Structure 1
Amino acid sequence: MDVSVAFPTALSTPEDIAVAEHLGYARAWIYDTPQQSPDVWMTLALAAERTEHIGLGPGVLVPTLRHPMVNAAATATLAALAPGRVAVAFGTGFTGRRAMGYRAIPWSYMDAYIRTYRALLRGEVVEWEGASMQMLHPDGHAPARPVDVPVLVGALGPKGDAVARELGDGLFVTLAQPEFMSAYSWVPYLAWGTVLDEDEEQDSEHAREAAGPGWALAYHGAYEFGGPDAARGLVGGDAWMDTVEKAPPGRRHLAVHVGHCVELNDADAAAWEAGGHTMVREATLTGTRSEIRDRLHELATRGVTEIVFQPCGPDTRGELERFLDAAR
């Protein structure tokens, strides 16, 4: 199993990726969340200049945030800056859309978008929104077409599986582990958590800072996919939901997603204090070194070929070192 890293895109991310390369991580994926992050493509370009061999890619792009020509041109640019190191993953949008009050995009749109994007990179003339277009970049403006970059698709259900099988080079997975992932030869699995010392309690300050933001996704996901009752059904869920409901109905998505994958927001902190921290091992890849190794072995038997670890908390390098040591 390859060991890769993910970052919620920040101004420090290019240097963080350089650190990950130095430590030995295989690939760096960064998030396309413009409502809380710097531009994903600008950040990857800066990372390309600071690194030599680590793989680079957006994980995941949300199609409705950009015209397919924009993502194709940006992909070609990054491929020129980091030849042979680029992969691109697409998803229907969790925080990238829901934090702005939108729902996930339909799979029919994803299918059409990826077909158009890949055809543009091959140099073909495509039809999009009723118009014909083609990458017209002359020499020195982009690599010659075709630009061959692997494309992965983030999917959890049968519709996404069908799109990934036909149009993707792999399956990008997070939040759950679908049974069909064993059918793919390349399966990055995005996970959060931390390595605990042997005698460390799972509600320690270190665990709260390093595993808490990933643990909070259990509440974010329950609310977004199952509604308030699903969130209240979790340990500490009443405290979480009561805090979210202090916001006006039309702005509750802001209360849910603020701090997403970076820090605990007010609702997350309330749930943690109300006993939600007891779920941290269940909800994240958190445990002692031996427990982490056992979990990774289990993931490998289920079809994961690349673990993608997102560090959280104030000590990014320390978290990267601890996890890589456990994974190895």
Structure 2
Amino acid sequence: MQVSCAFPTALSTPDDIAVAEELGYERAWIYDTPQQSPDVWMTLALAAQRTERIGLGPGVLVPSLRHPMVNAAGTATLAALAPGRVAVAFGTGFTGRRAMGHGAITWSFMDAYIRAYRALLAGEVIEWEGARMRMLHPDGHAPARPVEVPVLVGALGPKGNKVANELGDGLFVTLQQPDFMTEYSWVPYLAWGTVLDDDEPQDSDHARVAAGPGWALAYHGAYEFAGADAVRELPGGAAWMDVVERTSPDERHLAVHAGHCVELNEADRAAWDAGGHVMVRDATLSGTRDEVRRRLAELGARGVTEIVYQPCGPDTRSELARFHEAAAGVES
């Protein structure tokens, strides 16, 4: 199993990716979340300049955030800066849309967008929004077309699986593990958590800051996909909803997604203190070194070929090092 990493894009991300390369990580994926992050393409360009080997890519791009020509040009630029190291993943938009009050894009739009994006990189003329266009970059402005980079699709259901099968080179998954993972030869799985010391309780201060942001996704996801009643069924869920419901309904998504994948927000802290921390091992890839290795082996048996670990907390190097040491040698 390949061991890769991910980062919620921050000003420190280029340096964090350089650390990941030093520690032996295969690839670094970064998030396309403009409501809380610097620009994904600028950050990847800086990472390309500070690294030599590690793979680089957005994981995942949200199509509605940019015209396909913009993402095609960004991809071509990164491919020139880091030749042979670039891959691109697309998704329908969890944080990248819901944190701004929108639902996910439709799979029909995703299908049309990826077809247009891939055709642009191939040097073809496309039609988009009623106009015909192609990449016109002269020499020195982008690599010559075709620009060939692998494209992965983040999908959990049958509609997404169809698009990924037809248009993708792999399946990018997180939060859930669909049965159709086994149909793909390249399956990165994005996970959060931390390697605990053998005698460390799962409600330690270290666990809270290092695994907490990933654990909180259980509440964020339950709220977005199943509603308030589903959240209340979780340990600490009533406390979480009490905080969220202090915000008016038209701005409630702001309370839900504040700190998303980075730190615990007010609702998350309330749920943790109300006993929600009992879910840390179930909701994240957390445990002792041996427990993490067993979990990774199980993921490999289900079809995961690349674990994508997002560290959290103040000591990124330590979290990356602990996880890489635990994951090294796990076979898919």
* TM-score interval (norm. to shorter): over 0.9
The letter for the 2-side match of 1:114 is I
Partner of 2:63: 63
The CA distance in 2 between the partners of 1:229 and 1:143, in whole Å, is 51
Deviation at 1:24, TM superposition (A): 0.2
Q: In the alignment, which residue of structure 2 is the partner of 1:115?
A: 115
Deviations 1:95-134 (A, max 9, x none): 0000000000000000000000000000000000000000
Q: Distance in 2 between matches of 1:118 and 1:112?
A: 10
Query: How do 1:74-89 residues align onto structure 2 when only pairs under 5 Å count?
Result: 74-89=74-89
| Mapped partners of 2:318, 2:23: distance in 1 | 11
Equivalences, count: 328
Residues 175-196 of structure 1: CA deviation (Å, up to 9, x unaligned):
1000000110000000000000
Q: Output aligned runs, 1:1-328, within 5 Å.
A: 1-328=1-328
TM value normalised by structure 2: 0.99
Residue-by-residue CA offset, 1:233-289 (whole Å, 9 max, x unaligned) = 111000001100000110000000000000000000000000000000000000000
Partner-residue secondary structure (3-state), 2:25: coil
C-alpha displacement at 1:219, in angstroms?
0.2
Letter in 2 for 1:17: I
The alignment-based identity, stated in percent, is 81
CA distance in 2 between counterparts of 1:195 and 1:220 reads: 23
TM-score (norm 1): 1.00
Deviations 1:52-100 (A, max 9, x none): 0100000000000000000000000000000000000000000000000
Within 2, Cα distance between the matches of 1:107 and 1:229? 27
Counterpart residue type for residue 311 of structure 2: P
Cα offsets for 1:298-317 (capped at 9, x unmatched): 00000000000000000000
Q: Indicate the SS of the match to 2:135.
A: coil
Aligned AA for 1:144?
A
- Output the CA distance in 1 between the equivalents of 2:256 and 2:170: 30
- Whole-angstrom distance in 2 between the partners of 1:140 and 1:215: 46
**Structure 1 residue 166: Cα displacement:** 0.2
Work out the CA distance in 1 between the residues paired with 2:195 and 2:8: 19
Query: Counterpart amino acid of 1:303?
Result: G
Equivalent residue letter for 2:149: V
* Alpha-carbon distance, 1:146 to partner: 0.2
Q: Distance in 2 between matches of 1:169 and 1:231?
A: 35
Amino acid at match of 2:187: V
Tell me the amino acid that sits aligned with residue 21 of structure 2.
E
* 1:227 CA displacement: 0.6
Q: Can you give the 5+ residue segments of structure 1 that lack an aligned partner in the other structure?
A: none
- Secondary structure of residue in 2 paired with 1:176: coil
> Aligned partners of 2:195, 2:53: CA distance in 1, in Å?
26
Q: Which amino acid aligns with 2:84?
A: G
Instruction: Specify the SS of the correspondent of 1:211.
Output: helix
Runs (4+) off by over 2 Å = none
Structure 2: give runs of 5+ residues left out of the alignment: none
Cα distance in 2 for residues equivalent to 1:300 and 1:129: 42
Equivalents in 2 of 1:306, 1:233: separation in Å? 32
